């Protein structure tokens, strides 16, 4: 089994190798441009001199002069996604993460497969998570993987002016970007109620007691109540969810359901 530290080292080595290849390609392009410029201006600049000046292999430079293509360009054309398609996915992933809904590698794999299947016209085509790992490494300048943190653990620290302002700025930006009307914006509140467990009330008991118990039937059955209201002020009937397998017909009678709850 490969340890997490070894996986990190392997990933770092692959990134370093890719960056070194890009740097080498830049130097080759400079050497090629200098050689071609010397030919146009009738200056004397041999392939060996150009390779030595830019610290690139002479044979590789000669192959480029003869018309051989860059390995990075060839590999890019062999990729299932071109750079334009990848950039769209990268922007979408960043946007989703900023909204608090980051993608997983498995879900990303499904999205990539959908794009490639549509492009190839082959609904059976699939890439694996290893391909996704290599794709994430390629776009590692903009994307990283994290262990997700539940908002429940940080919600107490989240209510500060900067976070609240950032949230409403994102909401306003989304409303303007998609021209969302008030009739299409709804808010929902969910509350849970426990039967047989009364809330605390003022009761009468003997003087001097520290605790006054109140008997309850101990029934822990719960119901969930969901209410919705739109920004335009429209209200929908509340929705009440009970645990059960059958619907009691008397619940739909008007005297038992004055709000016509669902």
pLDDT, tens only, 155-198: 666 667 787 888 889 999 999 999 999 889 998 888 888 776 66
Q: 105 and 44, same structural domain?
A: no
C-alpha–C-alpha distance, residues 210 and 233, integer Å:
48
| Average pLDDT taken over every residue of the chain | 78
Kindly state the DSSP code that residue 80 receives in the 8-state scheme.
S
* Residues 88, 68 within the same domain: no
Question: SS3 for 186?
Answer: strand
- Statement: residue 78 has pLDDT above 70: no
In a domain, 215, yes or no: no
Rounded Cα distance between 159 and 148, Å, is 20
Rounded Cα distance between 247 and 104, Å, is 39
Residue 210 belongs to a domain: no
Q: Are strands 235-242 and 222-230 parallel, antiparallel or unpaired?
A: antiparallel
Helix, strand, coil % over all residues of the chain, rounded to 5: 50, 10, 40
Residue 88 in any domain: the answer is yes
Within a domain: residue 143? no
Q: Could you tell me the sign of the dihedral formed by the alpha carbons of 111, 148, 136, 92, in that order?
A: positive
Residue 104 placed within a domain = yes
Same domain, 193 and 257: yes
Asked if the model's pLDDT at residue 110 lies above 50, the reply is: yes
Domain that holds residue 260: 184-197+221-262
DSSP 21-67: HHHHHHHHHHHHHHHHHHHHTT----HHHHHHHHT--HHHHHHHHTT
Last residue of a domain, one of 53, 77, 101: 77
pLDDT at 217: 63
Summarised one tens digit per residue, pLDDT across range 19-48 is 777 778 788 888 888 878 877 777 777 878
Whether residue 102 lies inside any domain: the answer is yes
Question: Between the ranges 64-78, 128-142, 169-183, where is the mean pLDDT highest?
Answer: 169-183
Q: Residue holding tokens 């008997």?
A: 215
Within this chain, do residues 69 and 98 fall inside the same structural domain, yes or no?
A: no
Which of the four pLDDT bands, split at 50, 70 and 90, describes residue 53? confident
* Domain tally, the chain: 4
Considering the domain boundaries, does residue 44 fall inside one?
yes
pLDDT of residue 12: 54
> Which of the four pLDDT bands, split at 50, 70 and 90, describes residue 149?
low
For residues 62 and 85, state if they share a domain. Answer: no
Answer yes or no: do 230 and 256 share one domain. yes
Q: What pLDDT score does 164 carry? A: 82
Q: Is the pTM above the cut of 0.75?
A: no
Residue whose token pair is 């690139």: 56
Establish if 243 belongs to a structural domain: yes
Domain boundary among 47, 77, 107: 77
**Domain boundary residue, one of 77, 103, 122:** 77
Contact 216, 196 (CB under 8 A): yes
**What DSSP character marks residue 153?**
G
Distance CA 262, CA 245 (A): 16
Residues 124 and 112 in one domain: yes
């Amino acid at each position: 089994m490969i340890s997490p530290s070894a996986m990190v080292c392997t990933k770092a080595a692959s990134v370093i190798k890719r960056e070194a290849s890009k740097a080498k390609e830049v130097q080759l392009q400079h050497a090629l441009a200098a050689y071609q410029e010397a030919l146009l201006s009738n200056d004397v600049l041999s392939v060996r001199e150009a390779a030595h000046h830019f610290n690139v292999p002479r044979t590789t430079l000669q192959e480029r002069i003869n018309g051989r293509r860059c390995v990075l360009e060839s590999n890019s054309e062999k990729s299932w996604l071109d750079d334009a398609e990848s950039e769209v996915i990268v922007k979408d992933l960043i946007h989703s993460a900023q909204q608090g809904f980051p993608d997983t590698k498995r879900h990303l794999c499904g999205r990539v497969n959908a794009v490639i299947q549509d492009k190839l016209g082959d609904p059976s085509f699939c890439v694996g998570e290893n391909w996704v790992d290599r794709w994430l490494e390629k776009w590692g300048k903009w994307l990283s993987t994290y262990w997700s943190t539940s908002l429940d653990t940080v919600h107490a620290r989240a209510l500060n002016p900067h976070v609240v302002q950032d949230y409403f700025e994102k909401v306003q930006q989304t409303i303007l970007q998609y021209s969302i009307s008030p009739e299409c914006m709804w808010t929902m509140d969910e509350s849970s109620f426990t039967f047989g467990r009364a809330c605390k009330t003022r009761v009468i008991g003997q003087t001097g007691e520290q605790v006054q118990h109140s008997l309850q039937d101990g029934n822990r059955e719960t119901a969930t109540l969901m209410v919705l209201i739109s920004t335009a002020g429209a209200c929908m009937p509340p929705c009440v969810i009970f645990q059960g397998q059958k619907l009691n017909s008397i619940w739909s009678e008007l005297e038992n359901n004055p709000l016509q709850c669902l």
